[in-house]
Chain A
């Protein structure tokens, strides 16, 4: 009771104060100084009071000013000349002498407008965690899509690109992994339209990933905001992974501006080629493996003729080489990027138009990405109260790539490493004369061990992905009254993706269990999405004390996705007829999928600021998703249809505006932020919540069976988060520092629970796993030097993520992936590697006998075999058998710590900058090394295998060579895991802007850069940065995609 009374008194007091203020009619005189971040006075800054008429006032030579006001509390606006940014300062009356620091024009300022959902607001008033990205560099770097710019600069955001293939995109996690089976990727909204997740597209070619962001030319982007905090609740069921708002070409000015830029450069392999055995070493190893195979010695020449061939034999020349096959797959290549835009208009209509063309080759031979983009936006002031804008975006791109990774027949890396160095890419004829004639014309056929000729992989194998995307939106903004406005957006997203692959006969291993000599594949995926968003917003300020901004609306989105696959096999062996109709009827395959999903959300937001000191934000949304089951829990029902409720609140205390800090004038802003909220993820499968039937085949006809164990209670995954943070900026934002602690408890994660066998279906989808992410984020920026024309800036960010599974169905779920296993176990990190602990090699028979270990088939481990730790058995005791009971958590593919550093120096018109990025505490399953050190077949191997155990008593860490590896020395174990930490210089960039007096252009900038010049890592593969697909389970498994290239580039940008 007492508290309530006190609260009432407090409210009354507030009213009294505000009331009194409005009655006070005294004149106040304030004097002060305006200074820059060097603490030097600024002369000539014009000063005005917001909402009050006064004669204009300009600071004097010492930066001082004196003003009179009729009110006790008011905003002072400082409008400097072009070197500094405009600043508003809220004056609350108690001081008579104030010092105001202004921000340099090229620094981030509190008065900058930040793109947020539905509105722009001043950076200083943003309550929820929103990070913006400086789009200035977008013109200068040779990146194909904007996601690459996120790397190393987002505190708490980890971007891992899929591969070095241009345009392939990557995986972006904001504040850690957020789901096991549902999407982890943030929702991307381009000019108000949510894009689909790239993970909905499947690929017939292994290692093919689609990147929805590749449809936007980086130069088109005018603003990016990354929302991770409370404001994501406005996107309810799609908000839990964060939201990325992208704003493209925005014609702000009525002057016509024309911009043209061109850049070009060269790619080269950034890492080193892997050291492989030479022909002589290979022969020794192959002999050893043959000897271990148990097949009679007289069969060896049949198995491996090249080993026994003598110079006088026919065909000797085929086996007489010492060839480095890696040189067949890599090449230096080129790229170019041209971009043109024009913007302009008048008071009634404004437009922007851009076209761009990019052609970027990969570092693998015959790969690359080319893209044509065009974008138009127009804004028309129909009436004073109504503005209509329209944008259209047409993009067409083609990506040429290679099936990498797991498909051993077609993977450039696996074939080039495994191919015997004795052989040569081209065929030789039988007689020497013929040999000379035919050399370098006919590609050599596949060898005896079934390893494709890398030359054929690079030159005859084809995989192409063509993409045509049309995005269009129509937006109306109307003012209903002075404070109330309405927005309405209708947008359509049409995407067509077509993949063609031809797996040739010549030079290649047979496919599909040896049945197929060549194959042609086509896949088309079509998405049609329509989106509509309508909202009202109300903005009102009351006497400079209360600022209220209320927004309410509804949006819906309907998606139709169709995918068709056709595969023709055994076409004419001459590889000339590559079309689908030419395949063998018996082997044709047709497949595909159709999915529909819908989303509807009613949402509301309230922003309220009191006295410029206390900032509140409340978000709420009610979401309908067609993926959610009717009987889901934690939903509310309307018309018997489930809606998820998502909400958040944020509070920010601008402590720097409290009276006890008002006199610390160098303290520009100091805030303490609190956020709390619940957001959701509805990506739990489009059919998991329905009872449905699927077709099946019997004889010449089809039948119907129940499809799966549907879960009509399937609900949203939920993120329950809170954030504590503080941010300080000093001396006109010259120094900024922020720290956030972010805790997300993700509950109700989708898992596929195993059913008892008497229940028929093997798995059912259920919301039965929880996980927590504890994220510590630091971000520092400082202009360390600001002397005359020389500036020196340093930005640093660092994030530490503790991830832990807190609950999962059955306590743990082990998932088998190609080559390895992952476990999700309570108390461990999500998707931890799970395998044996490798402890070296038995050097002597005696030692092996003493250990007395058997593998899971009952074969004994002997001298030269791997020594795995026998941890447990069925009775909880070590049982002398190495099997599932002896697997342990071996680490995780997700880093504990990552961040970046940005340094930039500028002198007059010349600027030099560099961006560094690091990840630490990440394990990599090196699948390529696993293939390259197994010594279980006649593939060529790494020089590391020279250390292989080869005699009794040999102390080494490399087991003996053995055909077929019957005892399982190469089973998934800590042997294949490596420290994946790395420090990488992302780019070094230099640019020079021509002084205007030398040119007739508005702007002429010449720039150059080196991308990926150095990487420091202990990792033994080509590249420690890769992400095989969007699937969370394979993060950290290096299946040998194209490594990132080193790029050297020059460019020019002209503005008229």
Chain B
């Protein structure tokens, strides 16, 4: 600058001209250089870091990334819990709506579903299925030996098995809800893949998801059971590697839960032998790491039964989806069921459900009346009404002014009923709300995080009893229901562990034999008044089919007490109905229609019965676009 000022004007001009050229070119070069830099660095510039997401192409490099991807599926499964319980229970006979129920719940309750009903959408199942497909693809692509049955088992095989189970579970549940569903074999996570799937190149404009691509429930079951039996080399990884917590074992898919799923599918299809073969290894297991599991022993006997709902235990639980508020995993079930603020109390137990628990009796004796020769109730041992271990204040409860009626108050109420002292009953029961408490046991009203049990020992036992009944192995079925069944000490049976069928709690624990176990004899079966327990008649079961039906009824009743609100009720009814429909089509349908129609008001019952007699209404509509596909 100073130099320039000191030079003469002419020189300065020349100097500047030179510099102009020099600097000018340099500037142009810098500009060009900057452009080249910009363009060459473009790839990174065009795809900057995603921030909180991980680019798909940067993922699946090591085992931990696969593990995280598998764990991701569990969260998608968690998202389905609310829908599963609503569809499985609100269509069954144990649940009714309250005045607070929203429109979507009402529609489910009345088997009349509109296209935007949030509980009726299969989207959640398909989110899970598609995520599974993506992961299966990646596993096959990056670790092809997962498909080789002879290769040594490693963790990738276990992930592969886990994902296959998860996908099968999603398909199976969707299929039994919708009847007919599209089977999607490929990974379609972005819109390109979706386009190619919906409009495959060879047939442009012709959606592959026509009715042909839909599989019905039985075809789905065939496909899935085959997959689970042939493609799965191993299931279940130690996801808890870092925190040695044994409860992890039953909060993921394992071989036991795989078997339970296979058994459930075979049973749904009616393949009893295969179903039995799948359940048997669960019931008659001897786990190398743990010893004998799933024994219905006294871990959850009597008062401890309700711990099934709050703890996770390797002896009862086969597969549980764990929720925990402090881990930010919650669901809405407590909100829908509970009547304590801020919960919305949209659903409550039906009267039948309550009666299942309140009209079961223990500690009574029958005797022959000396004058008439009829069998009557022994007045010295009239029995104790009610299921206080699984029912009252566990599965459901009575609330008055925000307070739960205590068990002893309910006990006295039931005893007033037995004595037919209805004024006292009314004093206790006036203004009570009946509330499903299964998802709020030991929870405060804000928790909303009860675990969701998919498979547990009692459920598998009851399935097994059902199979044995259908196979006419009556005594074995009775043993499973009532008391020990496999000669291993400590086995109590489903009813036995909560004080029915000979195993009485104090003060009724006497040496006296009682009659409260399920006994499907040829004759007679005594009919008793539900409230007073008085013998009001008897019936004979002349044929084997009658015995089977009677026992099946008893199993369905027992399932209500044991497994109510765990999401399976409607499918249990449907399965029994379908089994009976094979021998008597109408009577079979009527089994389901009778049971469910009974929960409606008198005005609605006839119409609902008619609706339920149409088998199509047992399935929800599956929409493609705005059209529901044909069942």
Contacts and interface: CB of A to CB of B under 8 A. Distances in A.
B598 interface: no
B116 to A, nearest CB: 8
A697 B47 contact: no
Contacts of A532: 34
A504 to B, nearest CB: 20
Nearest to B401: A302
B602 interface: no
Interface string B186-214: 00111110100010000000000100000
B400 interface: no
Contact of A639 (B28, B39, B48, B49): B39
A697 B327 CA distance: 8
A380 to B, nearest CB: 10
A685 to B, nearest CB: 12
Given A690-B55, A760-B130, A554 B68 contact: no
B43 A704 contact: no
B55 A586 contact: no
Interface stretch (A161-169, A382-390, A909-917): A382-390
B194 A586 contact: no
A602 interface: yes
A478 B27 contact: yes
Contact of A710 (B48, B74, B190, B342): B190
A637 to B, nearest CB: 11
Nearest to A858: B106
A478 B71 contact: no
Contacts of B290: none
Interface stretch (B274-282, B318-326, B348-356, B389-397): B318-326
A592 B51 CA distance: 10
Given A384-B16, A857-B103, A758 B624 contact: yes
A81 interface: no
A628 to B, nearest CB: 9
B324 A699 contact: yes
Interface string A472-499: 0000001111001010100000000000
A515 B448 CA distance: 12
Interface string A691-733: 1111111111111111101111100000000000000000000
Counting chain B CB atoms within 10 Å of each CB, the highest count among A479, A484, A592, A760 belongs to A760
Given A626-B48, A638-B39, A701-B71, A758 B181 contact: yes
A574 interface: no
Interface string B100-124: 0001001000000000000001110
Interface in B331-380: 341-342
B80 to A, nearest CB: 12
Given A639-B43, A712-B190, A705 B72 contact: yes
Nearest to A596: B48
A693 B56 contact: yes
B39 A709 contact: no
B308 interface: no
Given A698-B71, A701-B239, A514 B34 contact: no
Contact of A713 (B56, B70, B192): B192
A181 interface: no
Interface residues of A, number: 77
A600 interface: yes
Interface string A512-545: 0111000000000000000010101000000000
Nearest to A692: B53
Contacts of A698: 71-72, 74-75, 78, 329
Given A383-B4, A700-B327, A760-B127, A481 B20 contact: yes
Contacts of A687: 50-51, 53
Contacts of B190: 691, 709-712
Contacts of A693: 53-54, 56, 59, 69, 72
Nearest to B35: A554
Nearest to A510: B342
Contacts of B51: 562, 593-596, 686-687
Given A385-B20, A554-B38, A703-B74, A597 B69 contact: no
A760 B182 CA distance: 12
A1023 to B, nearest CB: 34
For chain B, what secondary structure do more than half of its interface residues adopt (helix, strand, loop), or is it mixed?
A: helix
B65 interface: yes
Interface centre among B31, B69, B239 (most CB of A within 10 A): B31
Contacts of A18: none
Interface in B49-104: 49-57, 59, 65, 68-76, 78, 103
Interface stretch (A279-287, A334-342, A761-769, A1012-1020): A761-769
B52 A593 contact: yes
Contact of B130 (A479, A593, A704, A759): A759
A173 interface: no
Contacts of A134: none
B165 interface: no
B131 interface: yes
Contacts, number: 231
Interface string B1-25: 1001000000000001001100110
Contact of A480 (B24, B75, B328, B341): B24
A757 B130 CA distance: 11
B76 A705 contact: yes
Contacts of A553: 31
A556 interface: yes
A598 B46 contact: yes
A698 B243 CA distance: 14
Q: Which of B54, B243, B322 has its CB near the most chain A CB atoms (within 10 A)?
A: B54
B56 A760 contact: no
Contacts of B129: 760
A761 B53 CA distance: 17
B189 A709 contact: yes
Nearest to A754: B625
A713 B78 CA distance: 32
A558 interface: yes
Contacts of B126: 757-760
A709 B194 contact: yes
B204 to A, nearest CB: 16
Contacts of A690: 47, 50, 53, 55-56
B45 A383 contact: no
Given A641-B42, A641-B43, A691-B189, A762 B48 contact: no
B554 interface: no
Given A513-B342, A712-B192, A760-B129, A694 B52 contact: yes
Contacts of B78: 698
A106 interface: no
A1044 B59 CA distance: 52
Contacts of A8: none
Interface in A600-655: 600, 602, 624, 626, 631, 638-639, 641
Contacts of B432: none
A488 B69 CA distance: 48
B55 A691 contact: yes
A585 interface: yes
B251 interface: yes
Given A532-B34, A641-B42, 4 more contacts: A702-B68, A709-B190, A760-B130, A857-B106
28 contacts: A385-B23, A480-B28, A486-B31, A488-B31, A536-B28, A558-B48, A593-B52, A594-B49, A596-B50, A641-B46, A692-B54, A692-B55, A695-B52, A697-B75, A699-B248, A699-B327, A701-B71, A703-B69, A706-B130, A709-B191, A712-B190, A757-B623, A758-B126, A759-B126, A760-B126, A760-B130, A760-B189, A762-B123
Q: Which 6 A-B pairs have the closest CB atoms?
A: A594-B51, A703-B71, A703-B72, A480-B24, A596-B48, A691-B56
Interface of B: 1, 4, 16, 19-20, 23-24, 27-28, 30-31, 34-35, 38-39, 42-43, 45-57, 59, 65, 68-76, 78, 103, 106, 121-123, 126-127, 129-131, 134, 181-182, 184, 188-192, 194, 198, 209, 239, 243, 248, 251, 322, 324-329, 341-342, 446, 622-625
